[in-house]
Amino acid sequence: GTTLGASAAESGRYFGAAVSTQYLSESAYANTLGAEFNSVVAENAMKWDATEPNPGQFNFSGGDQLVNWAQARGMKVRGHTLVWHAQQPGWAQNLTGQNLRNAMLNHIAGVANHYEGDVFAWDVVNEAFEWDGSRRQSNLQRQLGNGWIEEAFRAADAADPTATLCYNDYGTDSINAKSTAIYNMVRDFKSRGVPIDCVGFQTHIAHNENLSSYQANLQRFADLGVDVEITELDVGQGSGQAATYGTVTNACMAVARCKGITVWGITDKYSWRDDNPLLFDGNYQKKQAYHTVLAAL
Ligand code: XIL
Give residue 145's pLDDT: 98
Question: Which pLDDT value is given to residue 43?
Answer: 99
Q: Is 232 in the pocket of ligand 1 (CB under 6 A)?
A: yes
Q: Divide the 297 residues of the chain into consecutive groups of 10 and give the mean pLDDT of each group.
A: 97 98 98 98 99 98 98 98 98 98 98 98 99 98 98 99 99 98 99 98 98 98 99 98 98 99 99 98 98 98
Of the candidates 137, 139, 128, which has an alpha carbon nearest to the alpha carbon of residue 91?
139
pTM over 0.95: yes
The predicted pLDDT at position 139 comes to 98
Choose one of 264, 271, 274 to mutate for the ligand 1 pocket test, by most ligand atoms within 8 angstroms of C-beta. Answer: 264
Beta bridge partners of residue 229, listed in sequence order: 200
Residue 29, pLDDT score: 98
Query: How many Å apart are CA 163 and CA 193, to the nearest integer?
Result: 16
Helix (H, G, I), strand (E, B), or coil: what is residue 214?
Answer: helix
Residue burial 212-248, b: 16+ Cβ < 10 Å; e: rest: ebbbebbbbbbebebbbbbbbbbbbbeebbbbbbbbb
pLDDT for position 232: 99
Annotated active-site positions, please? Answer: 232
Atom 15 in ligand 1: residue holding the nearest Cα: 43
Residue 14 φ/ψ, nearest 5 degrees: -115, 160
Q: Which H or E run includes 249?
A: helix 241-254
Rg (C-alpha) for the chain, rounded Å, is 18
User: What pLDDT score was predicted for residue 201?
Assistant: 99
**Which residue's C-alpha comes closest to atom 3 of ligand 1?**
272
User: What is residue 27's predicted lDDT score, i.e. its pLDDT?
Assistant: 98
CA of 205 to the centre of ligand 1 (A): 14
Q: State the Cα–Cα distance between residues 6 and 223, nearest whole angstrom.
A: 27
Query: How many CB atoms within 10 Å of residue 139?
Result: 15
3-state secondary structure of 43: coil
Interface ipTM:
0.99
pLDDT at 88: 98
Between CA 225 and CA 172 the distance in angstroms is 18
Best residue among 21, 44, 168 to mutate for probing ligand 1's pocket (most ligand atoms within 8 Å of CB) is 44
Count Cβ atoms below 10 Å from residue 143 Cβ, excluding itself: 17
Q: How much is the pLDDT for 61?
A: 98
pLDDT value of residue 73: 98
pLDDT of residue 282: 98
Polymer length of the chain: 297
Atom of ligand 1 nearest to the CA of 20: 5
